[in-house]
Amino acid sequence: MFRRNFIPILVLLLICFFILKPATVSEGAFNGLKIWVSNIVPYLFPMSVLSNILLKYNFIYRAFERFNKYAVIPYFIGFVSGYPSGAMTINTMYENKRINNDEANYLLSFTNNCSFQFIAGAISFSMLNNFNLFKYIAVPHFAGAIILSIFIKNNTVSNNKGKNVKQPQSDFHQVFSSSIYKSVTGILTVGGVIVIFSVFSNFFNEVLTSLSHVIHISPYIKDIVYSLIVGALEVTNGCSIISSSVYIPLELKLIIINFLVSFSGMSVIFQTFAVTDKFEINLKNYIAHRFMLGVISALICIIMTAFM
C-alpha cells in the first residue's frame, strides 16, 4: 500500500515543507526564474523557432539522407542550443514521420547534449575563470556522445519507415505561426520544470549544509559529495559548487564537471520528458544512457588531463 501511495505521500510532505519554509521555496523559485530568463529563453527560444521552421521543409532531410537516422540534425541543434533542444528537434522529426519510436529513443540518448556556448562561456569562463579549459569539457562531452551512439547502436531495431515520407509544404506564414506556438509551449514547459527543480535544489542545499555541521567530514570530501548530489538534481548548481571549491584540484574538478554535464541532471531529464510528447520515451533506458555518457566523458577527460 505504501509503495502504491508513495508519490502522493511524498507530494504531501513537500507541500508541508513548502508551508514551513516559504523563504527557501521563494529563493529557489526566483533562482529558477533567473536561470530560465537569463540562460534558456535568449538561446533556446530563437533556435527552437528556426529549427521548427527548418524541419517543416523536405530540404533538410534530403541534405542529410546519407547520415544514419538523420543524427546530424538534432546533434548539431543540441550543439548550438543545448538541452533540451535536441529532444525538441527529435520530437518534431517524429511528428513529421521522419523517424519511428525506436529511432527517436536511440537519437535522444546521444544528441540531446549541452551547448558549446554553455560549456565555454558559463562553465569555463565564468565558473572556472579560464576560457581555455573548454576543450577539456567540450571534447569529452561531444566525442563521448558519438562513442555512446556506437555502443548502443546494436541494441536498437529500426526499419526507418518514415525516411522517405515527403510532407506537404505549407505556406511560410502557417509554418512560422506553428513554429512560434510550439516554441512558446516548449519554453514555458521547460521553465516550469526548471523552477520546481530549482526549489528542490535549494531544499537539498539547505539540508546538506545542516548535515555538514552535524557530520564532521573533510571539506575535500564534502565538496565532492555536495556537488555530485546537487549536480545530479540540477547540473548548473552542481558545476558551480565544484568550480568554486578551494579544496578540489583542477583535474578532479574537470572530471566531475564532465560527468555532471553529460549526465545532465534530473532537471534536464524531466525537461526532456516534458517536451517530447509525440513519442514514447523509454525513461529507464534514457537515464541509463545518460549515466553511461557521464562515465565515458569522465574517462576521456581523465586521459586528456593526464597530458595537461
- Closest-CA residue to 112 (of 305, 244, 269): 269
Tens of pLDDT, residues 33-63: 887 887 678 767 887 788 778 777 766 666 5
Tens of pLDDT, residues 173-220: 777 888 888 778 878 887 888 888 888 878 877 777 777 777 777 778
Pick out the chain residues at pLDDT < 50: 67, 157-163
| pLDDT for the residue numbered 157 | 46
Q: Is the CB of residue 81 less than 8 Å from the CB of residue 118?
A: no
Predicted TM-score (pTM) of this structure: 0.80
| pLDDT for the residue numbered 158 | 47
Exposure string over 152-175, b if 16+ CB within 10 A, otherwise e: beeeeebeeebbeeeeeeeeeeeb
Question: Residues with Cβ < 8 Å from 273, sequence gap 6 or more?
Answer: 281, 283
- Closest-CA residue to 239 (of 155, 125, 160, 142): 125
| pLDDT for the residue numbered 249 | 93
| pLDDT for the residue numbered 297 | 97
- Coil, strand, or helix at residue 22? helix
DSSP state of 247: S
Q: Kindly calculate the radius of gyration of the chain based on its CA atoms and give it in whole angstroms.
A: 20
What cell was used for 148? Answer: 555512446
DSSP state of 157: -
CA–centroid distance for 12 within its chain? 28
